[in-house]
């Protein structure tokens, strides 16, 4: 493989010009993609540009999730996922009451990940099941649910509260470090096969030196057609020219690593965090006591993959029994590609499922129903709520 195919961004300065024309031009020049898919992608980009404005990149910052979606839309699966996401945004603009309130959150650095994107995803799923969607504005001193669903046929209302679990300051620092290094691996300098892992949090005063070291390793591996590796107490990392993949795999095997860059070993168990920390009670307070409600919890995919489903269902069923107006709690996480074939476990107390969309994104979902729910709600609406969740 020629070296020209490796070098995607120059070292130093900004690795890409943060402007809409850059993303459109990149899309046009992507190899091996159908012209129809490229046309759909360009239409999606134009719609998003109109919604967010030409000056979006002047204020969004480098860690904005929308920027991440734009940067990742470089392969067929990722581009299909991006187009699907924009299709959802189009649907909500056409059908959802108070869409500008959602768009305002999509602009925000602080609310886009915790509010805008989950609101968008959850709203679209219920829109597809025939509900009308409303995004209420927060009013001080009042109960403020995140979404309001209305069944057009019956006039029944359901209030949804979205609760994204905070990872804590240490986890946030770990995640920032990991994604900074991941960006350096794949979006700066040479695009090379990599293997490695983070072991400890790198002190702030060592970061510049570490970033320079990684850039130098990539340069060395690409120009000298070799494996360039480094290891200390904080991390192990190696880059390889495509002629040296066997050597990279041997290095990885010796250190019990895979051919990818892994983050810290962490344990994800949100069930007790929700119950013991009164998280559920705080979210329930935002829903009118006389109205049916549903709690959505976007969680890390590792929690969904390692969850003890029977224990989680049993613990949450007991906790939900305190709140007679809450229909249930929904946990969900996504991964691409999915790690399982689609499945559904349908039980009177819960639904546990994995569904795959057209972009090959796997969505793992657990809906725990409240056995003590006692508000009037039609069978059709109950069924639609469960179907939207899974």
Residue 5: pLDDT band (50, 70, 90) is very low
What region, left, alpha or beta, does residue 337 occupy, with left being phi > 0 and alpha being psi -120 to 50 degrees?
Answer: beta
Does residue 167 surpass a pLDDT of 70?
no
Structure tokens at 191: 């695009």
Confidence at 202, pLDDT banded by 50, 70, 90: confident
- pLDDT over 80 at 62, yes or no: no
CA proximity to 82, closest of 35, 117, 122, 126: 117
The residue with tokens 């003590």 is 372
Same domain as 21, residue 89: yes
pLDDT the model gives residue 266: 65
Average pLDDT, integer, range 168-181: 76
379 CB-near residues (< 8 Å, 6+ apart): none
- pLDDT tens-digit series, residues 14-54: 444 578 998 999 898 888 888 899 999 999 999 999 999 98
Residues 131 and 148 in one domain: yes
Which CB contacts under 8 angstroms, 24+ apart, belong to 238-244?
238/194, 238/195, 238/196, 239/185, 239/190, 239/192, 239/193, 239/194, 240/192, 240/193, 240/194, 240/195, 241/192, 242/1, 242/192, 242/193
End-of-domain residue from the set 44, 60, 95: 95
206 with 351, same domain? no
Percent of the chain with pLDDT over 70: 89
Where does the pLDDT of residue 168 fall: very low under 50, low under 70, confident under 90, or very high at 90 and above? Answer: low
Say if residue 253 is in the same domain as residue 278: no
**Is 7 part of a structural domain of the chain?**
yes
What integer is the mean pLDDT of 58-63? 77
pLDDT (tens digit per residue) in 83-121: 888 888 888 888 777 888 888 888 888 788 778 888 888
For the chain, percent of residues with pLDDT exceeding 90: 38
Considering the domain boundaries, does residue 127 fall inside one?
yes
Q: Which domain holds residue 191?
A: 168-262
Together in a domain, 235 and 343:
no
Q: Examine the domain organization and report whether 236 and 356 are in the same domain.
A: no
Q: Are residues 14 and 161 in the same domain?
A: no
Query: Where is the domain boundary, 209, 231, 262?
Result: 262
The predicted model gives 358-362 an average pLDDT of 76
Residues 282, 355: one domain?
A: yes
pLDDT, tens digit (0-9, with 9 covering 90-100), for 236-278: 999 999 899 999 999 999 999 988 888 877 666 667 667 766 6
**Separation CA 185–CA 181 (nearest Å):** 6
Do 84 and 132 sit in the same domain of this protein?
no
Q: Is residue 143 part of a domain?
A: yes
Whether residue 361 lies inside any domain: the answer is yes
185 and 140 assigned to the same domain: no
Q: Is the pLDDT of residue 8 over 50?
A: no
Q: Are residues 160 and 174 in the same domain?
A: no
* Residue 101 counted as domain residue: no
**Same domain for 220 and 189?**
yes
**Largest distance between two CA atoms of the chain:** 71
112 falls within a domain: no
Q: Is residue 224 part of a domain?
A: yes
Entry pTM: 0.68
Provide the domain count of the chain.
Answer: 3
Pairwise CA distance, residues 219 & 190, whole Å: 7
Q: Is residue 106 part of a domain?
A: no
What integer best gives the mean pLDDT of the chain?
A: 84
Q: How far is CA 48 from CA 256, 340, 376, in A?
A: 43, 32, 40
Please say whether the beta carbons of 234 and 202 come within 8 A. yes
């Amino acid at each position: 493989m020629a070296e020209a195919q490796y070098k995607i961004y120059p070292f130093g300065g900004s690795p890409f010009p943060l402007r809409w024309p850059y993303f459109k031009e990149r899309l046009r020049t992507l190899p091996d993609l159908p012209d129809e898919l490229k046309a759909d992608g360009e239409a999606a980009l134009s719609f998003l540009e109109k919604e967010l404005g030409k000056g979006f990149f002047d204020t969004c910052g480098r860690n904005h999730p929308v920027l991440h979606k734009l940067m990742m839309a470089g392969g067929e699966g990722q581009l299909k996922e991006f187009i699907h996401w924009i299709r959802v945004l189009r649907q909500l603009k056409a059908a959802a009451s108070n869409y500008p309130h959602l768009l305002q959150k999509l602009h925000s650095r602080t609310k886009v990940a915790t509010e805008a994107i989950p609101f968008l995803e959850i709203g679209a799923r219920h829109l597809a099941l025939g509900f009308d969607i409303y995004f209420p504005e927060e009013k001080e001193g009042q109960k403020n649910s995140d979404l309001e669903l209305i069944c057009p046929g019956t006039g029944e209302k359901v209030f949804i509260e979205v609760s994204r679990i905070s990872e804590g300051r240490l986890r946030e620092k770990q995640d920032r470090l990991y994604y900074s290094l991941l960006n350096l691996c794949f979006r700066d300098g040479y695009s090379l096969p990599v293997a490695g892992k983070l072991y400890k949090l790198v002190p702030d005063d060592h970061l510049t030196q570490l970033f320079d070291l990684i850039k130098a390793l990539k340069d060395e591996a690409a120009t000298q057609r070799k494996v360039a590796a480094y290891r200390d107490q904080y991390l192990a990392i190696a880059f390889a020219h495509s002629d040296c993949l066997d050597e990279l795999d041997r290095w990885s095997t010796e250190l019990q690593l895979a051919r990818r860059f892994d983050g810290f070993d962490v344990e994800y168990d949100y069930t007790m965090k929700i119950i013991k920390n009164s998280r559920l009670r705080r979210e329930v307070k935002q829903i009118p006591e006389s109205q049916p409600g549903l709690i959505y919890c976007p969680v890390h995919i590792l929690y969904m993959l390692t969850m003890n489903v029977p224990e989680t269902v049993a613990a949450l069923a007991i906790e939900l029994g305190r709140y007679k107006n809450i229909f249930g709690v929904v946990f969900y996480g996504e991964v691409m590609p999915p790690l399982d074939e689609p499945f559904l476990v349908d039980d009177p107390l819960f639904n546990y499922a994995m569904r795959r969309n057209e972009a090959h994104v796997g969505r793992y979902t657990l809906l725990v129903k409240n056995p003590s729910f006692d508000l009037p709600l039609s069978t059709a609406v109950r069924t639609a709520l469960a179907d939207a969740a899974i």
